[in-house]
């Protein structure tokens, strides 16, 4: 597990590339937000967490429980889920809106682009739009 990367994973790169192609500009691994989200939109106060289906026990076909040391893996996945919920709640308490993108969602880029555009709104926010967007939370 020491070789598992914390950032710049393939699903994370796919999401960032797609956001950039859609015209969004963002920060990565923003330290001031609880949970240090993979992608953050500071003006919109939106944090995107890209979760791997296996490590965060999504429940899709690629999130199988290993057959060896099943007790260890069950405890590991349970702790990961609890940490995810705790960090998401802390980010929301700090005024951030959290979006979770699962690894399996990155396979259909057109659907992901539609979801991101709908969740994030226009690519450029004027000051009036920004104030209205903040009030919509």
Q: Provide the residue range defining the domain that includes 100.
A: 57-130
Confidence class of residue 135 from pLDDT cuts 50, 70 and 90? low
Question: What pLDDT digit, counting tens, does each position of 28-67 carry?
Answer: 998 889 989 999 999 899 999 999 888 888 888 877 888 8
Q: What is the DSSP letter of 41?
A: E
Residue 111 is assigned to a structural domain of this protein = yes
Domain count, the chain: 1
Write out the two tokens for 134: 């903040």
Model's pTM, two decimal places?
A: 0.83
Residue 20 lies in a domain: no
What CA–CA distance (Å, rounded) separates 93 from 30? 16
Confirm whether 33 is domain-assigned. Answer: no
β strands within the chain, DSSP E: 27-28, 39-41, 46-51, 97-102
Inter-CA distances, 118 with 9, 10, 47, 85, 104, Å: 24, 23, 15, 23, 19
Mind listing the pLDDT tens digit for each residue in 65-117?
A: 888 998 999 999 999 999 999 999 999 999 999 999 999 999 999 999 999 99
CA distance 36 to 48: 10
């Amino acid at each position: 597990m020491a070789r598992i990367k914390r950032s710049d994973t393939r699903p994370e790169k796919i999401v960032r590339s797609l956001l950039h192609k859609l015209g969004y500009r963002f920060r990565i691994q923003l330290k001031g937000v609880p949970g240090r989200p993979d992608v953050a939109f500071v003006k919109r106060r939106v944090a995107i967490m890209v979760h791997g289906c296996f490590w965060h026990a999504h429940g899709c076909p690629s999130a199988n429980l290993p057959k060896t040391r099943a007790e260890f893996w069950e405890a590991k996945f349970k702790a990961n889920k609890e940490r995810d919920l705790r960090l998401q709640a802390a980010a929301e308490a700090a005024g951030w809106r959290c979006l979770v993108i699962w690894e399996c969602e990155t396979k259909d880029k057109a659907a992901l682009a539609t979801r991101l555009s709908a969740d994030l709104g226009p690519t450029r926010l004027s000051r009036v739009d920004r104030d209205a967007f903040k009030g919509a939370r």
